[in-house]
Structure 1
């Protein structure tokens, strides 16, 4: 996606916005991990990070903290080649992936179906377009996480606001995220990415709860 989705999350210093920065950062990290296997630099940065939830304004959720700690542990004990091999086996495969990362698949059982058409219409309304160098369809979980990241931390407040976050999350993500996490966590070949699936599940549960609080 364009509109500066690849830039660093804007620093927000006003009271009460630190949690949104943490949310945007985590969406950004999940986008990176689902788009491609992490390199050694990213693994080192994850391994060296503090426990999620240690900040005063971070979401207070035990499951999310435990899932983050597990990802830190896995990142500390692995290397980029191991992650690359697993990514290839799970999400690319030979002929077709073992685990699909596309929303249309979980909503209809097929790729490039009506949910993708509705998603493209929604992205057009938001003024977002697929970047030319991106080959994955817009319903790839990495692309959707990038959109949520922008809706949280973007500088255009007519688009980057809580109302749009809830609308996008509810209409294009909520219904199938659990199925995606189940597919990852339950796959016998998932080792490193099992930790990513667990983190995604815990985070999306927090997000779902938060969206339910929005009127």
Structure 2
């Protein structure tokens, strides 16, 4: 029996088949859900516009009751940036998210400038074109133009030692894989989702633990992946996403260097 959040998402997408298509998985997988799996919440929120706190109130409902000073503003901003990247990497944005992105304000900082670039790209993009971009880049008929996995970028192959090392560290942090998630954990979207949880405190960890995780599992390859995205000829909207990701990875690298 489906829970209310999943029912809302299916209704917003226009059916089980359409929801599955939008997030890039098979229809039987979605049909087997009784609720939205934790690792799919951001993708489903992105393509349906149903807030994550309604999709999985057990995971995100507590955010509504946190006091304003429960999280450092810098860490809150970091978590939001990681969550945005996870959303855009896991699925094409919904029309609602595109509209929100078009309202981003830029400034004269490096991150502010690429935010302005992303806002302009969102303003000038049609939803169908962005969906096609995401499909061509990350899914494709046989495979996408980009393979956003740590194992691939670090070894040239999928499911190699970087993935096994990541799984060991996730176990140490107490972060478990959901059984219905068939995507390897070293996917860039999953790693950004984990960093968002670490920055926000949803996954408790010290600054030192966050730094170690970033330097071991993101820093060695993710900047290069975002640069590849930024330079691909097929991308228009996702070229701006690549710029945001590359600049943000540089900022995180510098910040963790200072904390070391």
TM-score normalised by the chain length of structure 1: 0.87
**Counterpart among 60, 75, 81 of residue 7 in structure 1:** 60
| Bigger fraction of residues in helix | 2
Output the CA distance in 2 between the equivalents of 1:9 and 1:47.
Answer: 28
Output the CA distance in 1 between the equivalents of 2:245 and 2:72.
Answer: 22
Deviates more, 1:10-19 or 1:132-141: 10-19
Q: Please name the residue that 1:25 is paired with.
A: 80
**Counterpart among 185, 191, 197 of residue 242 in structure 2:** 197
Task: State the secondary structure of the residue aligned to 2:251.
Answer: helix
Output the CA distance in 1 between the equivalents of 2:67 and 2:76.
Answer: 7
Distance 1:130 1:155, change over 3 A: closer
Higher RCO, Cα 8 Å, sep 6+? 1
Rg: which structure is higher? 2
Distance 1:12 1:191, change over 3 A: farther
**Counterpart among 196, 204, 209 of residue 164 in structure 1:** 209
- RMSD across aligned C-alpha pairs, in angstroms? 2.3
Where do 5+ consecutive residues of structure 2 fail to align?
Answer: 1-36, 40-55
Q: Please name the residue that 2:101 is paired with.
A: 46
Give yes or no for the alignment of 1:97 onto 2:137.
no
Describe how 1:116-127 pairs up with structure 2 within 5 A: 116-127=163-174
Output the CA distance in 1 between the equivalents of 2:70 and 2:175.
Answer: 29
Give yes or no for the alignment of 1:214 onto 2:259.
yes
Output the CA distance in 1 between the equivalents of 2:141 and 2:213.
Answer: 33
Q: Please name the residue that 1:75 is paired with.
A: 122
Give the CA deviation at 1:182: 2.3
TM-score normalised by the chain length of structure 2: 0.73
Q: Please name the residue that 2:198 is paired with.
A: 151
Distance 1:155 1:180, change over 3 A: closer
Distance 1:16 1:42, change over 3 A: closer
**Aligned 8 A contact 1:151 1:164 in 2:** no
Give the CA deviation at 1:178: 2.3
- Tell me the alpha carbon deviations over residues 143-178 of structure 1, each in whole angstroms, 9 at most, x when there is no partner: 00011011111246xx33311110100011101122
Task: State the secondary structure of the residue aligned to 2:105.
Answer: coil
**Aligned 8 A contact 2:104 2:116 in 1:** no
Output the CA distance in 2 between the equivalents of 1:148 and 1:68.
Answer: 20
Where do 5+ consecutive residues of structure 1 fail to align?
Answer: 54-60
**Aligned 8 A contact 1:12 1:21 in 2:** no
